[in-house]
Amino acid sequence: MSAIRSRRSLLIPVLIVALLHVYIGVRLLPGLPVPMIVHSLAVLWLIASTLLMPAALMARRLSTPWADQLSWVGMMAMGFFSSLLVLTIARDLFLLVTLAIGWRPPGLTGYSALGAIALALAVTVIGFFQARGLAKVKEVDVPIANLPDALHGFTIAQISDIHVGPTIKRPYIDRIVDRVNSLAPDAIAITGDLVDGSVRELSAHTAPFARLSARHGAYVVTGNHEYYSGAEAWIVELRRLGLRVLMNEHVVVERGDASLVLGGVTDFTAGGFIESHRSDPVQALDGAPRDAAARVLLAHQPRTAPAAAAAGFDLQLSGHTHGGQFWPWNLFVPMQQPYVHGLNRHDNLWVYVSRGTGYWGPPKRFGAPSEITLVRLVRG
């Protein structure tokens, strides 16, 4: 019975994807000013894309040497389809406006369809190179009231949402680790969604994280994708690599005569996967020195902010949103999260949201560049 339900739950999104491909074909192909052979190839692409997209998402279940290749092709198709769908809808709205005002020059229907396809292709190509390139360093100063001289200038290198998996492998991680270490930060924070796959599949590719080096250590908190990928096994593996996994707990960093509390919570949704992992910023501060000069929380999702502010933290470092990754999905992030990217203020709490250092799904970033963040605490 469960197998039947599983097949039905898979059939519905596949059917929706197929219908959306039909919509694109019906709206763009008639009247397209190209030879008939191109029309035929476009139809074949629509059929292939319909099949490749769900196949890419299921490729991890295939124990074959070409599973990664299938993921690559399917994810590229997904990225192109996403932009083409949005532009097809935008074109239809444009044509409705031209119809309403009575302006319809010859060739508008065909050439607007060609323009939508060309623009979707251009966005996909540009987005691919932006996603696959090494994330740039973004420096952010965070003012902390009454910060003592000993902690003024304390730096935390934040990386987030790398998503090691079918299209992100060891060479990509090596470049990130080398760049972070070159910053010589006081501490390193990894704010979740490190992986998309099991320890067995990916341990060879996450091995470079063992090289992360900072004066006061490297710390990591779980994201929702760790729970999709076997969080307990990954927690063991990350500890084996020498990273300190903060599970609703904190460490105290001493600098001169001042102390900094660096806390971390499990993902906002962790309790739905493992009850004992329920996220708890109050517990993360339990036993922390009351005279600490600053309290910093690592929390994967920005929506931890209200609980973090109530618990008494000064700064929360988060990820999860990818900054939307590529337009127009950034417009939908606020429906789930209070903050999308950058430095924000929530009551007495600063919240910094990274756009992420890798990407999820399609190797594509457009209008939301990836980043390695160098956070610097300064006197407020």
Verify that 140 and 117 share a domain, yes or no.
no
Over residues 263-281, the mean pLDDT reads 97
Alpha helices of 29-162 — where are they, by DSSP H? 36-58, 67-101, 108-132
Find the CATH number of the domain harbouring 165. 3.60.21.10
Provide the pLDDT for residue 66.
79
Domain that holds residue 107: 2-132
- Residue 3 pLDDT level (bands cut at 50, 70, 90): very low
**pLDDT tens by residue, 312-329:** 999 999 999 999 998 877
Provide the pLDDT for residue 63.
59
Verify that 157 and 253 share a domain, yes or no.
yes
Handedness of CA 79, 84, 89, 94 (dihedral sign): positive
Verify that 250 and 298 share a domain, yes or no.
yes
Mean pLDDT of the chain: 93
Distance CA 51, CA 35 (A): 25
Residue linked to tokens 């059939």: 11
Last residue of a domain, one of 103, 132, 161: 132
Strands 371-379, 136-144: parallel, antiparallel or unpaired by DSSP? parallel
Distance CA 189, CA 212 (A): 10
**pLDDT tens by residue, 197-212:** 999 999 999 999 999 9
Verify that 126 and 141 share a domain, yes or no.
no
Last residue of a domain, one of 109, 132, 155: 132
**pLDDT tens by residue, 21-52:** 999 999 999 988 889 998 899 999 999 999 99
What is the SS3 assignment for 175?
Answer: helix
Provide the pLDDT for residue 380.
84
Over residues 223-231, the mean pLDDT reads 96
Verify that 96 and 197 share a domain, yes or no.
no
Verify that 29 and 48 share a domain, yes or no.
yes
pLDDT at 19 over 80: yes
The DSSP letter of residue 374 is E
Distance CA 206, CA 50 (A): 32
Verify that 65 and 53 share a domain, yes or no.
yes
Provide the pLDDT for residue 8.
60
Verify that 166 and 305 share a domain, yes or no.
yes
Provide the pLDDT for residue 64.
62
Last residue of a domain, one of 132, 153, 187: 132
Verify that 231 and 300 share a domain, yes or no.
yes
Read out DSSP for 14-51?
A: HHHHHHHHHHHHHHHSTT-SS-HHHHHHHHHHHHHHHH
Tokens of 139: 């420096």
Verify that 59 and 197 share a domain, yes or no.
no
**pLDDT tens by residue, 90-103:** 999 999 999 999 88
Tokens of 82: 């996403």
pLDDT at 62 over 80: no
Verify that 237 and 257 share a domain, yes or no.
yes
- Residue 104 pLDDT level (bands cut at 50, 70, 90): confident
- Residue 1 pLDDT level (bands cut at 50, 70, 90): very low
124: phi then psi, degrees, rounded to nearest 5: -65, -45
Looking at the structure of the chain, the number of domains it has is 2
Structure pTM?
0.91
Tokens of 57: 């998402």
C-alpha dihedral over 48, 50, 56, 61, to 10 degrees?
-110
Residue linked to tokens 């929506």: 303
Distance CA 234, CA 334 (A): 29
Tokens of 180: 């972070």
pLDDT at 115 over 60: yes
Over residues 58-65, the mean pLDDT reads 68
What is the SS3 assignment for 368?
Answer: coil
Verify that 185 and 307 share a domain, yes or no.
yes
**pLDDT tens by residue, 140-150:** 999 999 999 99
Handedness of CA 255, 256, 258, 259 (dihedral sign): positive
**CB proximity list for 237: less than 8 A, separation 6 or greater:** 199, 203, 206
Distance CA 248, CA 245 (A): 9
Could you check whether the bond before residue 65 is cis, i.e. omega within 30 degrees of 0?
no
